[in-house]
Amino acid sequence: MGGGSPDRPDESEAYRALAEQSATYFNRYKDVFVPLENQYIQSVFDAGGGAAYQDAMDGATSMAQAQFDDRIGGLQSGMLAKGIDPNSGRFQAGTADAFEKLGTIRGLAGADAGINNTDRFLGGIQNVVKMGQGLASEAMQGQIGLASTAEDKIRSQFATDFADDQQRSQALGTAAGMAAGGAYNYFGGN
């Protein structure tokens, strides 16, 4: 065959500089980003544990409790100001509905927080898989968004329940006023 060629081609300065730059980037990735990725992966797997579920549910039920504490206290104070005995059936019945709604909302908020935690965990697993495949991973905004959604649901349910109570009270007041007016007109209007 023809003339020989060297076994090794000459590297140009540009190729050598590019190789050095790539090595620098790779070492930086190993030293800085691999520990961060490992920390993220561990936090994702921690989100699937029982403690993460308990924390999420405790936070949601505490938020629900905080929404009701002021209203229930105001309801009780209002009845005390009207001279209603706290040991009476009227006082107990007046607060029983509020406590029942509190229990319902706490249960729903806790269950919703558990479901949201599962969504966060599964979304994190998807990101870990994407990282392993070399795909761009999504930022972990899920927990903040889910907490905000849960808080909005609690506030909405709270507002709806107490609006219903107010409407019932107003309807009863209107009915009592009409009955009293009718009785006055019938007996006292002569």
Spatial CA neighbour of 147 closest among 115, 183, 189:
115
Q: Which residues contact 184 (CB under 8 A, 6 or more apart)?
A: none
Q: Which residues contact 56 (CB under 8 A, 6 or more apart)?
A: 113, 114, 116, 117
pLDDT in tens, 88-107: 988 888 888 888 888 898 99
Q: Which residues contact 65 (CB under 8 A, 6 or more apart)?
A: 102, 106
End-to-end CA distance of the chain: 135
> What values do phi and psi take at 11, rounded to 5?
-90, 135
- Kindly report the pTM of this predicted structure: 0.55
pLDDT in tens, 115-143: 999 988 988 888 888 777 776 544 444 44
